[in-house]
Amino acid sequence: MGAAYFYHLTRAPLEETLARLIDKARGAGWAIVVRGRDPRRMDLLDRKLWLQGPDSFLPHGLAGGAHDALQPVLLTTGPERANGAECVMAVDGAEVAPDEVNATQRVCILFDGHDPEAVQQARGQWKALVDAGCSAQYWSEESGAWQMKAET
C-alpha cells in the first residue's frame, strides 16, 4: 500500500521541486506519471524538464506518443498510467483517487503555497484521502529545508 505525500511549495518553483522528486523516484526504480490539468502547462513542464541542465537529465515524454509505455517519466492530463507508473506526481490540482494511492508506491501532490485556491484544494485532497484510509504526509519548505509537518 502506498502513501500520499503533500508538498507545500513556498520557496522553490514547481519545476525545481518536481525535478528533484522525479530524480528521487527514479533512484528508487519507479516509473513516474506527472499529472496536470492543462495540456499547455504540461507542454511547458516538458520544455522546462529538458532544460534542467547537463547534470540533471530527466528522460521523459508527453502522453499520446507511440512509446508511452516505455517512458520512465510520462507527463499527462489523464488518469491513466500508461507506463505502469509506481509513482504519481500531481500538479496544479490534478485529482488522485484513494484507490490509486493504494495501487502505487507513492503519490506526490505538489501545490503552490502562495495560491489560496491551491492550498484549499490540497486540504480537500488531504481530507478525502485520509478519510478513505490512505496514509499521508504533509511536507513544508517554509523553514528553507523540507520538513515533515504532519503524518497519518
pLDDT 10s digits, 69-127: 999 999 999 999 999 999 999 999 999 999 999 999 999 999 999 999 999 999 999 99
Choose the weakest-confidence range: 8-17, 34-43, 51-60, 104-113: 51-60
Identity of the amino acid at 121: Q
Beta bridge partners of 89: 34, 108
Q: For residue 134, how many C-alpha atoms fall within 13 Å in the half-sphere facing its CB?
A: 28
Cα 40 from chain centroid (whole Å):
17
Instruction: Go through the chain and tell me how many residues it has.
Output: 152
Q: How confident is the model at residue 54 (pLDDT cuts 50, 70, 90)?
A: low
pLDDT tens across 39-50, in order? 999 999 988 887
CB 46 within 8 A of CB 75: yes
Structural domains of the chain, ranges and CATH numbers in brackets: 3-151 (3.40.50.10110)
Q: Whose CA is closest to 126, among 102, 150, 99, 92?
A: 150
